[in-house]
Amino acid sequence: MAKKLTRREIREQLYRLVFQLEFYKGEEREEQAKLSLEDLQEVTEKDKEELLEKFRGVSAHVEEIDRLINEKAKGWSVSRLPKADLTVLRLAVYEIIYDEKVPDGVAVNEAVELAKQYGGDKSTGYINGVLAAIVRERSRQDGENA
């Protein structure tokens, strides 16, 4: 019987899907995501739909997300970042900018947790710093637009 995933489990599965963005282009991306979701037999269809929807969101906005990361990633470009760190950043930036259901603080904290699991020794501090800069800029812009 399929089980409902927790928010954290959904984010971990989404991390795995977003990681694939580096290896596939265009329609191949969605095909690979769907194949990966088919392998998750213990996951509810509702959770699979949510994962695919969020994957599509990240995929559709990846250029804008990468531009924001490049602006804030001092000394690093998207092309030079370790793929695990880049994936964490892409997922978190998507949640911060495009997913209104996820508070900024939660997106940052969960990104740090993913970085601990998948990144290198210095990943957590670096990712936290990049995301904090993005959140600060967004808050400043929201204040100006209020």
Distance from C-alpha of 76 to C-alpha of 23, rounded to nearest angstrom: 20
Six-digit token pair at 45?
């269809």
Query: What per-residue confidence (pLDDT) applies to 69?
Result: 96
Q: What percentage of the chain has pLDDT greater than the value 90?
A: 64
Q: What percentage of the chain has pLDDT greater than the value 70?
A: 99
Q: Answer yes or no: is pLDDT of 93 > 70.
A: yes
Whole-model pTM?
Answer: 0.91
User: Of 50, 122, 61, which is closest to residue 92 (Cα–Cα)?
Assistant: 61
Q: Answer yes or no: is pLDDT of 38 > 80.
A: yes
Distance from C-alpha of 51 to C-alpha of 66, rounded to nearest angstrom: 20
Query: What per-residue confidence (pLDDT) applies to 11?
Result: 93
Distance of CA 59 to the CA centre of its chain: 10
Q: Answer yes or no: is pLDDT of 75 > 90.
A: no
